Structures are given as structure tokens and as C-alpha cells.
Structure 1
Amino acid sequence: MNHLLKSLLIAASLISAPAAFAASPVTPVSASNNGIVLIDGADLSILFDGYIAPEGTPYQTDAVSWFGQVGSSGVTLDFDFGQLYTLSDVLIGVDHNDFYQVQVSLDGSVWNTLFTNLSFEGQSNFGSEIISSVAGDPEYQATIDFPTTVARYARIYAVGGDSAFSVSEVSFSGVAVVPEPETWALLIAGLGLIGAIAYRRS
């Protein structure tokens, strides 16, 4: 019986392994503005629409912008991914001369800091700055590189700068913690096959 159980566990791990390494863009199902007075009532969906404003774009163009408000729990732009994901990388577009912090949460109430983006650490000297945690990317910055982490929610907010803030994109990559239906089908089929073989041998 122990041999059968061991075989089943090995099969399960082999069948589900490909999903663990196939990181892809994680698109939020919703975004909300928590206490920030946005300029021109910007549409928050532009933060994850896949369009990345080129570096040097004026900070209020194709971005969510606001004046003066810094903070954490009371002044944030919040994202809900709809389920748990193992997040592995991020790309952000922000105003080049400000400080921004990104936090993540499993439940939307307890938050952990993922990284703080430091002012002037990128290449742009004006307007939008693009920064990536993907090693080898031309926009890579080690300061925002983070170990894989499981989260359902994320948020970004300003922590300092010239009081004219903007975020143009927040794009995470990762994999869903719960396997997709196709993966479950493969897993069940594989376990059935292993079980049938073990039954015939007994």
C-alpha cells in the first residue's frame, strides 16, 4: 500500500510540474482606488492594460496621477487577482523622480512589502520610468527583484518624491496556485493509470 501511495504522489508531482514553471502575465480582475484623489478621474484599468508608456513620456500621459498624497493602508492603488498566484516577476511604470512601495497580501488585510522603488534609480531623467525585476531585461533593477511569493492582492503607493506622482503600469508574472482544469484532468488520468497498473500487479 505504501508503494502504491508513493507512486501516486510521484505521478501527481510529475503531472502538475509543468504548470509550476509556466509563468505568464497575471491580470487583475479588478482595481480600486483607496483614498487617492486622482487627476482627471483616471481609469484604473490602464494600470494593467498591457500598454507601457515609453520612458520619458510626460508623467500624466497614459497614467494614473495624483498630487501630494503618500501613505500606506489609507492611500493606495489596489489590485485583486481573483485567486492565489505564485508571483515571480513584475514590471512597473512610474514617475521617474519619486519613491513607490509595492505590497502583497493573501487575504487583503495583512500586507507584506514586496519592494520599494527608489527615486532616480532607472535610466530616465524625465517623465515615465520603466523598471523590471526580470534578470537580463534592459530595464532590470535589482532593488525590485523579489523571491517568488504567493498572493491574491497587490497594492502600490507613493512614499516620497516631488509630490506629483503617477503610475502607468503594474504587470506581474506568475502561475495560478490552483491548477487549471486541463491540469486536473491530466492529473486524474495519470493517477487512474497508476492505480490500474498497481491493481493488476497485486
Structure 2
Amino acid sequence: MTLGVLVPKLKLKNLTDIKTIQNIVPDCWVYVQDRKVKLGRFQIYNNWSPYMIKDLEHTVWVGLEYFVNEGDEYWTMTEDEFAKLGIEEMVKIGLIDSADEVLDYHMEKVKKAYPAYFDTYDEIDTLVDYLKTIDNLYCVGRNGQHRYNNIDHSMVTSFEAVKCIVTGEKNKDKIWSVNTEQEYHETDEVKEEAEVD
């Protein structure tokens, strides 16, 4: 679940040489490592594109991301309840001073946002081989390939699909070969290894 929150400014200071409007940090995503909050990460939409913000000079859109499960206590919150939680956590971690600063907010819920590598996932190659036989089907991105692609990998799968369409190439191996290096996959083995470290 994501809560978009519009504020006049963030309390974050830009300590880099990278110039940004309002001198906010230049990051798009910031992971939150604070056990006192449920917030997993936030994104600063101003840094994605100036065209996403109506008043770029005087406001900042922040997306608060919460990793939840369908039907849990967060998923069932109303937009106002979720906004109250998110805004309180923004204050708690020092993104803003007070809830009074918030100009607007908006909640979005995304079902099945992350692929799951369990149950019959060990048969994914069988499925991929079948999908490749459907001439006008091009599976791209995270949900299209049921793979934990980042945005860059997702875009590359789309570029490869466009090349196939434009050139008439029937072989879709290049689309499916994007992000196959094991180090990028967040499988159970990688998670277990991370927990041991």
C-alpha cells in the first residue's frame, strides 16, 4: 500500500553535491530502518520527474510504502485511517514537523505487487516455454514475467519486446533473458543467506 502525501517541504537536507529543487535529497527511494514505524520505504516523486508535481518549487509529493498482506489490519484501513498512520510516522521519523503541514494525501493498494517464489514456482521454465509459443504475447516487467525485476530490468524487457515486434523476430529468448543473473533474484536462498550474515 502506498500513501501519497503532499507537503510544502521535507526536513531532509541534501548533503550531496547534486543540486535538486528545494535542495531535498536527490534519491528516488529511501528505505526506512526504524523499528518504531511500519513504513518500509518512501519515494520522492519530485525526483522522478518535474512533470509529476504541479507546483515543483513549493511542494513535495512523497510516497509512503507499506509492505502488507491483503486483508490484514492495514489493508482494511480507510484512506483517512491509513493517512493518519502514515502522517504520524512521517512526524515520528522526522520527515515533517507536524501533521498540520500536510496539504493533501491519496492512498493506493496494489494486490500481488511482488512475485512469490514458492509452491509450483520450480515449474516456471515449463510455463515460460509454453508462453513463448504464443506469437502475439510478450511478457514483460515484474508481473508479466513473475520475476522480481527492478524498474530498469522491467524497461529492458519492454525494449526487447518492441524490438521483436518491429523486426518480426519470433524468438523471445532475449526478452526472457533479462535479469537472469542469480545475484538479482530475491529467492528464499538469498533471504536465508542474508539472515545468516
Instruction: Give the TM-score range, shorter chain.
Output: under 0.3
Which protein is richer in strand relative to its size?
A: 1
Bigger relative contact order, structure 1 or 2, given CA contacts below 8 A and separation 6+? 1
TM-score in terms of structure 1 length: 0.21
- The structure whose residues are more often helix, as a share, is 2
